[in-house]
Amino acid sequence: GEDVEQSLFLSVREGDSSVINCTYTDSSSTYLYWYKQEPGAGLQLLTYIFSNMDMKQDQRLTVLLNKKDKHLSLRIADTQTGDSAIYFCAEIGGESQGNLIFGKGTKLSVKP
Amino acid sequence: NAGVTQTPKFRILKIGQSMTLQCTQDMNHNYMYWYRQDPGMGLKLIYYSVGAGITDKGEVPNGYNVSRSTTEDFPLRLELAAPSQTSVYFCASSRKYGQGRETQYFGPGTRLLVL
């Protein structure tokens, strides 16, 4: 079945770059997503990438996709304390037939 | 637009009790979803609906029921609550079905504790 894996924790200092990594198993995924969940809140879409793209940049966010290795990463430049949250990687397409498959989430802690 | 709203925010149930989690969206989205999020885990799809009158099972449907009589509302019913249903429940909606920026918009969640 489909699976999405992420490391559970990441700690960085304010102003540094954060890189959150994700691996997935469904080679037929059409879209891959990054969601952000702040404490006590629902998930908020940060960005997404279509499977025929290698990179997507959106202000401080850079998404890199290595389709051969089924590896997705999210880079946050100049990380701020407000970026502290749980970040979920998710894929769609293929076997899931349009349903999102989520990773367990990476908790990003930003220290001042 | 209020987006996706959920009630209640928090509820404690005794084993065997029943309850309905309410979900409403005002974006005229056809697609609606119910997820559960267990501690330290990602979201698991319970049920989804592609339009009024149409529902389908997700990955973890056992112990739950849904209905979709209107476009706006998608209630989730727990008939006989069990401790394994202790979780945070998220409702979501989308205009299209899994297409890029046509993503799912999430409600704030309902925290359920079954004792």
Greater confidence (B59 vs B84) lies with B84
Predicted confidence band of residue B84 (pLDDT cuts 50, 70, 90): very high
- Asked if pLDDT for residue B58 goes beyond 60, the answer is yes
Q: Which three-class secondary structure state does DSSP give residue B50?
A: strand
Name the residue in chain A with its Cα closest to that of B97: A98
**Rounded Cα–Cα distance for residues B45 and A83 (Å):** 26
Which of B73, B71, B54, B63 has its CA nearest to residue B112? B63
Predicted confidence band of residue B6 (pLDDT cuts 50, 70, 90): very high
Position B80 scores a pLDDT of 94
Residue with tokens 């954060």: A18
Q: With the CA atoms of A45, A51, A53 and A59 taken in that order, what torsion angle do they form, in degrees rounded to the nearest 10?
A: 10
Position A100 scores a pLDDT of 83
CB-CB under 8 Å, A31 with B45 = no
Tokens for B48? Answer: 């989804």
**Rounded Cα–Cα distance for residues B93 and A22 (Å):** 25
CB-CB under 8 Å, B100 with A50 = yes
Name the residue in chain A with its Cα closest to that of B5: A42
Position A26 scores a pLDDT of 79
CB-CB under 8 Å, B100 with A105 = no
Among A4, A42, A104, whose Cβ lies nearest the Cβ of B106?
Answer: A42
Which of B101, B92, B103 has its CA nearest to residue B32? B92
Q: Does B21 touch chain A (CB under 8 A)?
A: no
